[in-house]
Structure 1
Amino acid sequence: MQVMLFEDDAVLKFTPLLHLKPIYELTLGMRTLREKFEVALSSLPLSLHMRAALAPYWRTVLTDYAINTFTQNDVLFLNGRVICDKPFAQKVLSGAFEFGKAYFNGGQLIAFRTNPHELFGDSPPELIDAKMIAERFSSTQVDCRYIAFMWDLVRLHPEEFRREAMQCKDFGKVEGTVHPRAILVDESRIYVGRGAQVRAGAVLDATEGYIYVAPNAKIFPNAVLMNYVMIGESATVKIGAKLYDYVYVGAFSKVGGEVEGSIIERYTNKQHEGFLGHSYISSWCNLGADTNTSDLKNNYSTIRMNVGGKEIDTKMQFLGLIMGEHSKCGINTMFNTGTVVGMSSNIFGAGFPPKTIGSFQWGGADGFVRYDLDKALEVARTVMKRRNVTLTPDYETLFRAAYTKEFC
């Protein structure tokens, strides 16, 4: 049996975050959604379905995976939006998902098992149509967790961080360098990886959580990490930073100021003072000095967010900024609660910008103009080169496709 993670039509609700990657490359807790499948289903080789435009680039990144390729006549399709924990993995490993059946949670397609050649031909469709699957297969309800909207990445982050931290076997190990004047509180709940540095005056307080410092990461003097915090490989926490209550910092990112309850993907800069709360920041973003996000309304009511032109009540009291890849903001930028910024936009100037900012936009509270594609690519190429990453032809093609999708 071949096991394939798939993208369904519900991923369109995540568009600002998914111009350059499939849904299962989003981060939640301590890992991406794909990595959760890898860990929980380690005995099964996984293959991947993704939108056709993504495939050429991602084949160069995920070289061990069969992408958009059927290798068997019996394929179990698993929704890439699923949070693959132990109970869900047991269903897969025990054979609970039967051939010729589809499995739903409410109206969300979770899994189906079939001969893909008979259903799709030689290759999968652009996106799996949940309605078509429901019409073609006998359907059964199944218990599981999944992300349905962008804000679920923030809403479910604490629960998932706790789950993964409690299963991690690395805590209690200090393999890197900890300065004698640094303070580690409850070392049994702290991991410092090989090559990592914790400088003088830094405080890692795991009294009410777990703190994970990956190999080659750097924690500068007087930084404070409290409760649940994960610092990715070769990431940097700047002088005097304050990180607490479910913060994920991706590999090679640089983080300073105050951060609470947020996910910052790899290769992103939030180096300076300013508050980032209950937010999701994609790769290759840059937040200027004293950028602040509001994550709580003055009247304490729940926060609404725009999805496909429609305002939806998130039912969340705390929700800050969701920002797509390669976007940037200038110094002293202020973001309102529940703001969404697309890919490769530049925000600057006084006042609060709109709560919904598309991709390839240039401006702020006084209005926006379209960001020239060639200039955007030039900046992206420069930014990536500074981190010794090459903007490859496949990546450029994907970048250009995102622009075309936005405006054509």
Structure 2
Amino acid sequence: MADAFYLFEDEGWKRLLPLTHLRPASELRCGCFTLRERIERALGIGHLKILARAYLAPVTDLAHAKNLVEGNIYLNARLLAFSRDELLNLGKGEMLLAEDEVAAFRPASPSEIRIPFTAAFLRTQKASYKTKESTAKLVRHPWDLIAESPALLAHDFSLLRPQVLGFIDPAVKVYGDKRALFVGQNSRIEAFSILHLEGPVYIGENVRVGGFSTIAGPCYIGDGTVVDGGKLSESSFGPQCRLGGEIECSIFQGYSNKRHEGFLGHSVIGEWVNLGAGTTNSDLKNNYSEIKVQLGRNTISSGMLKLGCFMGDHTKTGIGTLINTGSYFGVFCNVLGGKLSPKYIPSFSWDTGEVLAEYEVSKAVETARVVMARRGVDVTPELERLFREVFVRTKGERVP
């Protein structure tokens, strides 16, 4: 048995942008949990520390190389699925691979660890370790979260105890096996809502599902979220979201709003995002062909027939915004409504309708301060420094 487990973040976080600008890969949500939470549950351990980018210290519990000891096992922060036995039986000087990427390893000595975990460092490690291909899965692109989430929602629910602790109005219609339903304390499902339990539905604590809402499982709704007459299916919502309209097979990290009419499908939304009334995305091309995604200056084939958009934290859309298939909006973007938006909008950009202008970081921070205060969250000096750091690091994205 290992003395301790640590997560490490390799350069794969760059392929998960814009979702990883303001968090390590381990904090991405898929199914009922974040990647880190799922690992902690599977191993039966407490909060895992991570070896990651130093500038993320305000938002995560970083480990430091000087505190590492012999016998630790290091797990890739992008680890989505794995065999517990494979990890626990990992010997010193052994490494598990997932399609030739490093999924986990156990060094012979803590002096072998070098932060950050660059591609060059991991290549050197692979050459000196006894390696074996494993059953593990790593998240390689944002759309992997969408592809894997429905199955993980069902799997994760099997780890939880189905029960109803909140209030369900007698006029709520439930189709399916009620053993596939969890309703947390102080939550309310109001009259004339419909629950389809072909897949499990998990509703956290202090959630309000307003009348005439429809929720089709598998679906996870995090604590403090409000559903206002929405139609939700095969989706995962973190805490404190405000939801309405139609949302299908999507993931919200948390603290984001899509309260009004409009469709969102096969998309991943960061935190503190606000989608204006009528915002709608396409997730299927008219010719049913594979969807391509622009990531920076590169275009990548997703292998997906259905794929919507990826939005970084603190991005806002105006009323009537139309979003194309495979769109990428960075962090702190303002997107003009009433037209088809560009497929690629770099971080800290303001879509004027004609050109993309740089969003002044001081104004972005002040808006974040107002928005976050509405949910009782402060922009600390450390968090502001992180915002400003990411502004500088994404400068190259905005250069024409």
- Shorter-normalised TM-score: what interval? over 0.9
Q: Is this contact kept in 1: 2:65–2:113, CA < 8 A?
A: no
Supply the distance in 2 between the matched residues of 1:222 and 1:56 (Cα, whole angstroms): 40
Alignment-derived partner of residue 184 in structure 2: 193
Indicate which of 211, 223, 246 corresponds to 2:213.
223
SS in 2 for 1:216: coil
Alignment-derived partner of residue 44 in structure 2: 42
Indicate which of 144, 153, 160 corresponds to 2:136.
144
1:1-400 aligned at under 5 Å gives the runs 1-43=3-45, 46-59=48-61, 66=63, 70-85=67-82, 88-93=83-88, 95=89, 97-115=90-108, 117-120=110-113, 124-125=115-116, 127=118, 129-165=121-157, 167-171=158-162, 173-185=163-175, 186-206=177-197, 208-238=198-228, 240-244=229-233, 246-363=234-351, 365-400=353-388
State the 1:44 CA deviation: 7.0
TM-score (norm 2): 0.93
Supply the distance in 2 between the matched residues of 1:44 and 1:32 (Cα, whole angstroms): 14
SS in 1 for 2:372: helix
1:67–1:273: structure 2 CA closer, same or farther, 3 Å change rule?
A: farther
One-letter amino acid matched to 1:210? P
**For this pair of structures, how many residues does the alignment match?**
392
One-letter amino acid matched to 2:68? T
Write out per-residue CA displacement over residues 244-286 of structure 1, whole angstroms, 9 at most, x where no aligned residue: 1x11111111000000000012110110000000000001000
Write out per-residue CA displacement over residues 155-176 of structure 1, whole angstroms, 9 at most, x where no aligned residue: 11122222212x23322x1110
Question: What CA RMSD, in Å, does the superposition of the two structures yield over aligned residues?
Answer: 1.8
Moved over 4 A (4+): 65-69
Supply the distance in 1 between the matched residues of 2:66 and 2:283 (Cα, whole angstroms): 42
- Structure 1: segments with no counterpart, 5+ residues: 60-64
Write out per-residue CA displacement over residues 310-340 of structure 1, whole angstroms, 9 at most, x where no aligned residue: 2111110010011000001000000000001
One-letter amino acid matched to 1:109? V
Supply the distance in 2 between the matched residues of 1:283 and 1:324 (Cα, whole angstroms): 7
Supply the distance in 1 between the matched residues of 2:296 and 2:72 (Cα, whole angstroms): 32
SS in 1 for 2:91: coil
State the 1:109 CA deviation: 1.2
1:237–1:67: structure 2 CA closer, same or farther, 3 Å change rule?
A: farther
Q: Is this contact kept in 2: 1:9–1:130, CA < 8 A?
A: no
One-letter amino acid matched to 1:187? K
Supply the distance in 1 between the matched residues of 2:353 and 2:154 (Cα, whole angstroms): 38
State the 1:127 CA deviation: 4.4
Q: Is this contact kept in 2: 1:55–1:67, CA < 8 A?
A: no
Q: Is this contact kept in 2: 1:350–1:365, CA < 8 A?
A: no
Q: Is this contact kept in 2: 1:50–1:127, CA < 8 A?
A: no
- Structure 2: segments with no counterpart, 5+ residues: none
One-letter amino acid matched to 1:147? V
Alignment-derived partner of residue 62 in structure 1: none
State the 1:144 CA deviation: 1.3
State the 1:366 CA deviation: 2.2
Segment drifting more, 40-49 vs 260-269: 40-49
Segment drifting more, 25-34 vs 143-152: 143-152
Q: Is this contact kept in 1: 2:8–2:117, CA < 8 A?
A: no
Supply the distance in 1 between the matched residues of 2:367 and 2:188 (Cα, whole angstroms): 31
Supply the distance in 1 between the matched residues of 2:65 and 2:339 (Cα, whole angstroms): 45
One-letter amino acid matched to 2:44? S
One-letter amino acid matched to 1:145? K
1:70–1:116: structure 2 CA closer, same or farther, 3 Å change rule?
A: farther
Supply the distance in 2 between the matched residues of 1:84 and 1:37 (Cα, whole angstroms): 8
1:257–1:68: structure 2 CA closer, same or farther, 3 Å change rule?
A: farther
SS in 2 for 1:36: helix
